[in-house]
Structure 1
Amino acid sequence: MSERGTPGHLVWRLAMKWRVAVDRALAPLGLTHAQYVLLSSLYGMRRDGLRPSQRELADHAGMEALYVSKLARTLEADGLIARTRDPVDTRTVRLELTERGHEAVRPALDTVRVLLERLLAPLGGRDDPRTEEFVRDLTALLDAPLDTPTP
């Protein structure tokens, strides 16, 4: 292995570097990285014509459903999202951005876009073939099951 660490250690370090950088960049906007992930995911899903449930949003964002529920309550209290019961299945809570949420997420999207350009610059930027390969590799790693198989 490299002097810098094992692949798992490097993935951990990159994830932490990204999380800290996004937290710092979004702090002036009053958002954390986790709040940004929830808001930007809602923004993108709505743009695609979806009005997701908390569970659907959790799956889309790669977050635990309980954590999304907690974040959603905080963001609702801040006036950034609305949580409503599904009229067909009252156990299901649907989420959507409020107007204030739209106003908060737009500058956050721009801020994170600039940060992403900085992160990907060593690979040639967002549209470089090296970045496309990097995305394929990350996707393959994310798709790999890590659960221990039962005998």
Structure 2
Amino acid sequence: MPPFYQLTATSLQGQPIAMSDYSGKLVLVVNTASHCGFTPQYAGLEALYTKYAAQGLVILGFPCNQFGKQEPGDADAIAQTCHINYGVSFPMFAKVEVNGGAAHPLFRFLKAELPGVLGGRIKWNFTKFLVGRDGKPLKRFSPMTTPEKMESAIIAALGI
């Protein structure tokens, strides 16, 4: 089993979720924040999810408060921002750290596989990692890359 599928994370509702639940899906992992200049990307991410979920795309949102303390709220506050303000229907997870010694194992794995320009660190909120249907990380996108600009890579990875 690929390393990605051996990882787990806690949902925003507090339930453990195995990444193996997404086996065979194209997974886009995003570190998010509710009070960031990039927060409006939630709308574009939801649009991609709505458009391509039936073809196998799943988006996983991981709130993070490490960058400018832009995710200060608890699970209820995060849910309100995501679901009420942006209509997010893709899975959201409990707040995590993405850099440093306390970084979540999922982000340690993704950064090791796709280190980016900062040599294995995440620069800011809304860094995105595309993971293939086989669990192999395919591509890393910067926070400035909008969901719309990722669509061609998603279509190619979905094989449609």
TM-score when normalising by structure 2? 0.33
In terms of fraction of residues, the more helix-rich structure is 1
Q: Rg larger in 1 or in 2?
A: 1
TM-score when normalising by structure 1? 0.34
Q: Which has the higher contact order (CA 8 A, sep 6+)?
A: 2
In terms of fraction of residues, the more strand-rich structure is 2
